[in-house]
Amino acid sequence: MPSEETQNKETIKEETRADRKPQTVSAVTIDPEHLAKIKLDKKKFHRKRRLKDWAMFTGYLTPSLVGVLVFFYLPLLLILKTSFQRSSTNTDFVGFDNYSRVLTNEAFVNAAKNSMTFSGIAVPLSVLLALLLAILLNTKLPAESVFRSILLNPMMVPVASVVLIWQVFFSYNGMANGWGLYKLFEDGRIDWLKSDHSQFVILVLFLWKNLGYNMVLFLAALNSIDEEILEAAKMDGANAIVRFFAIKMHFLAPTLFFVAIMSLINSFKIFREVYLLTGDHPYANLYMLQHFMNNAFTNLDYSKLSAGAIIMCVFMIVIVGALFFAESKFDADVEG
């Protein structure tokens, strides 16, 4: 490249030497009309291509889009409409009546409270325990992959299959009472699923099921940390605890958010476990939001159901939005 440039310069110099006399150069005349036409052609071509691209990729999206519209979005709009009606057949506009009816419904309030209590305990606990397990497995433990497989295994086991075992352990005449586990909470034997400690049983089931998944996520994040950075910190005299909080946590932060969101979603799905263990009408503090919805289904009270769904939808959007917002804020902090 440099040789070419110097060459160019030289030629220019020679030229200037050769034609000392100023020469009048006739300007190249470009037909403005022609220019406009070229531009237009270009524009047309681009537009055509863009349209083609759009059509092509929209084509790929169509099956999904149609399905999602038909099965999720349009019915959601329908529900939004129904939630302001007296009932699904009587289309009188009743304002926020249904909403207030749902929000003052004792069962709904109780269910919401139970669900929130459960998520409030289960999510932090599962994140923390999974993180600890991941750290443990990351310390060059022998047979790490075997432990990982075993811990991931419960995720693949259908809950329905282990319900029986949980009953063996936690019913009134179950193993947990036989081993005297009830002494932790009460004096006498407990019928775990029909007591105030029922959430504990469900919590055990939830952790059993979800720890492996969360742990694998954390393990992946821990393994992706550059070994050299840790080495450098070690050289500088950072001990294991400092290294963990100053370096590893920094890289783990995005995963932490992801795991928190996934755990939250999973904790909302806990109805499945509760239903399988206790059926339609569980003990009061296991009555989850889905129970409320299911029982509303059987009562065919659509407007109430719709209002409930919309409330939960908004609630979810707010929570997830807040988490995403926090994450982006945190990311900006870290990078900035």
| DSSP assignment string, 113-158 | HHHHHHHHHHHHHHHHHHHHHHHHHTTT-TTHHHHHHHHHHHHHS-
217 part of the interface to other proteins, by CB under 8 A: yes
Interatomic CA distance for residues 309 and 319, integer angstroms: 15
Which span (16-24, 31-39, 89-97, 258-266) binds other proteins, by CB under 8 A? Answer: 258-266
> Is the CB of residue 115 less than 8 Å from the CB of residue 199?
no
The CA distance from 79 to 77, in Å, is 5
Beta bridge partners of 93: 85
322 in contact with other proteins (CB under 8 A): no
In the complex with other proteins, the residue whose CB is nearer, 199 or 310, is 310
- Contacts with other proteins in 60-89 (CB under 8 A)? 60-61, 63-65, 67-68, 70-72, 74-76, 78-79, 82
Kindly tell me the sign of the dihedral angle through the C-alpha atoms of 310, 312, 315, 316: negative
**Whole-number minimum distance, CB 5 to other proteins, in Å?**
30
| In the chain, beta strands by DSSP E | none
Scan residues 155-174 and list those touching other proteins (CB under 8 A).
155-168, 171-174
Is 151 a binder of other proteins (CB under 8 A)?
A: yes
Is residue 259 a contact residue for other proteins (CB under 8 A)?
yes
* Residues between 235 and 254 that touch other proteins (CB under 8 A): 254
Part in contact with other proteins (CB under 8 A); list of ranges 23-31, 89-97, 195-203, 207-215 = 207-215
DSSP state of 22: -
Smallest separation (angstroms) from other proteins to the CB of 243: 15
Task: Please tell me whether residue 326 binds other proteins under the rule CB under 8 A.
Answer: no
How far apart, in whole angstroms, are the C-alpha atoms of residue 21 and residue 42? Answer: 42
88 or 121: whose CB is closer to other proteins? 88
Rg, C-alpha atoms of the chain = 33
Does 258 bind other proteins (CB under 8 A)? Our answer is yes
- Number of residues this chain uses to bind other proteins (CB under 8 A): 98
Name residues contacting other proteins, limited to 279-308 (CB under 8 A): 279, 289-290, 293-294, 297, 302, 305-306, 308
Tell me which of 51, 56, 284, 322 binds other proteins, using CB under 8 A: 56
Please list every residue from 20 through 49 that binds other proteins, using CB under 8 A.
none
Q: Does residue 272 touch other proteins according to CB under 8 A? A: yes
CA-based angle 274:210:184, to the nearest 5?
A: 65
**Residue closer to other proteins, measured from CB, 123 or 216:** 216
Position 191 contacts other proteins (CB under 8 A): yes
Residues 150 and 298 sit within 8 Å (Cβ to Cβ): no
Q: How far is the CB of 31 from other proteins (least distance, A)?
A: 34
Residue 141: both structure tokens together: 């433990």
Residue (of 253, 256, 156) closest to 214 by Cα position:
256
